[in-house]
Amino acid sequence: MLTAVVLFSSKAVTLFRPRFYTRGMIHISKLHILLFRKDNRGRGQEFSLSFIKSNGHIVKVERAICTSFYSRGQRFNIRILPSGEIRQVKLYSIIEFNHARVYV
């Protein structure tokens, strides 16, 4: 719901509506739901993501599935499908999921 705020000045009254533009963005609290989506056969769905490593480098993964979630939901394992490599990723290091920006 958008709320309107009326700003008064000496010459005119201005109507200001704050915008909460979230198109193409995902809140970080929704990521665990998106990561564990399953297909009709019960297998994890593929996704792409980008995250920041501890040294500051950005890692982009195009095809991956989530294999497990642990440590109170703060870390999860992904399997990178082309190589079969399994990587551990921290939830708050994700900056993009399925080409949509992630915000806190």
CATH number (domain holding residue 92): 2.30.30.140
Q: What pTM, to 2 d.p., does this model score? A: 0.71
Range with the poorest average pLDDT among 7-21, 54-68, 74-88: 7-21
- Give the HSE-up count for residue 55: Cα atoms under 13 Å, Cβ half-sphere: 2
Over the stretch 8-24, which tens digit does the pLDDT of each residue have?
444 444 444 434 335 68
Tokens linked to 89: 């990723």
Q: Are 33 and 47 in contact (CB under 8 A)?
A: no
Structural domain includes residue 11: no
Dump the DSSP string for 11-59.
Answer: S-EEEE------TTEEEGGGHHHHHT-B-TTSPBPPEEEEEE-TTS-EE
Q: Are 37 and 44 in contact (CB under 8 A)?
A: yes
Considering its fold, how many domains does the chain have in total?
A: 1
Q: What CA–CA distance (Å, rounded) separates 18 from 64?
A: 37
Structural domain includes residue 47: yes
- Could you tell me the residue range of the domain that residue 43 belongs to? 22-103
Q: How far apart are the first and last CA of the chain?
A: 20
